[in-house]
């Protein structure tokens, strides 16, 4: 077979070092450069359970996605998303919106899609041009399934413009082992989610953008740590 697979588990850690959730993910890398992320996230506060399947092309541009949400063991919503050079569209059903057919056109092809698994947040770093790593870069247009902090609304389409800053190369230790990492910071003060706590993400420095560690600053003080990793 022509693909390779990366599987892992992230531990969601609270400010008192207690476990507040977990995420299992698998990334399939096809021979033509396409990638598919399959992620299941469990957040204990709020009892949020999210299933995401997300496909990008060889340039990391979004192609399609599926998102399903449950809260307190009750169905919240689900939807199918499709993207092209003109924007995105979705067919969703949720407690909030009922049946929704939506289309959002963008002036340029969408650069990424955020569906809220932490492993997927790393794919929102891929539009960053490492050749210009010494300066912050604005990423636009981007699309999201929710603008809520925990992603537990909708799902439906939202636009997002954000900036990224490269914060250096490090060798870091996480429960899954020691890795060479790229560190990024999301700059969100002028975005549609202004007021979001500071957010730093460390990913593998090998071009696969596997999350090694992520930190959400005050007042939440959350950490996300790679607990298991398997490559096949």
Domain ranges of the chain: 4-227
φ and ψ of 29, to 5 deg: -110, 115
Give the Cα separation of 111 and 210 in Å (integer).
18
User: pLDDT class for 1, splitting at 50, 70, 90?
Assistant: confident
- State percent of the chain over pLDDT 90: 97
pLDDT at 31 over 80: yes
Tell me the pLDDT tens digit for each residue of 180-218.
Answer: 999 999 999 989 999 999 999 999 999 999 999 999 999
Tell me the pLDDT tens digit for each residue of 130-146.
Answer: 999 999 999 999 999 99
Average pLDDT of the chain, as a whole number: 97
pLDDT of residue 141: 96
* Burial annotation 45-65 (CB, 10 A radius, 16+ → b, else e): eeebbbbbbbbbeeebbbbbb
Domain 4-227: top CATH class: mainly beta
User: pLDDT class for 56, splitting at 50, 70, 90?
Assistant: very high
Considering the entire predicted model, what is its pTM? 0.95
Q: Give the torsion sign (CA, 27, 28, 30, 34).
A: negative
Output the DSSP codes for 115-168.
-S-HHHHHHTTTTS-GGGTTS-EEEEEEEES--STT--S----EEEEEEEEEEE
Tokens 């809520």, residue located: 148
CA-only gyration radius of the chain, Å: 17
């Amino acid at each position: 077979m022509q693909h390779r697979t990366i599987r892992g588990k992230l531990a969601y850690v609270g400010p008192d070092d207690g476990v507040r959730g977990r995420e299992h993910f698998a990334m399939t890398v096809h021979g033509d450069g396409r990638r598919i992320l399959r992620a299941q996230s469990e957040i204990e506060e709020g009892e949020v359970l999210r299933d995401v399947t997300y496909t990008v092309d060889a340039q990391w541009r979004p192609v399609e996605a599926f998102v399903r949400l449950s809260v307190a063991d009750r169905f919240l919503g689900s939807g199918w998303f499709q993207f092209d050079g003109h924007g995105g569209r979705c067919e969703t059903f949720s407690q909030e919106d009922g049946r929704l057919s939506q289309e959002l056109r963008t002036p340029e092809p969408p650069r990424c899609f955020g569906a809220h698994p932490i492993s997927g947040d790393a794919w929102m770093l891929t539009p960053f041009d490492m050749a210009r790593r010494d300066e912050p870069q604005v990423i636009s247009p981007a699309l999201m399934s929710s603008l809520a902090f925990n992603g537990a609304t909708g799902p439906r389409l939202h636009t997002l413009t954000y900036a990224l800053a490269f914060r250096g190369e490090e060798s870091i230790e996480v429960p899954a082992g020691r890795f060479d990492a790229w560190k990024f910071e999301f700059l969100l003060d002028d975005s549609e989610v202004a007021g979001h706590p500071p957010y730093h993400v460390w990913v593998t420095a090998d071009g696969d953008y596997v999350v090694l560690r992520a930190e959400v600053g005050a007042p939440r003080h959350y950490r996300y740590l790679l607990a298991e990793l398997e490559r096949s």
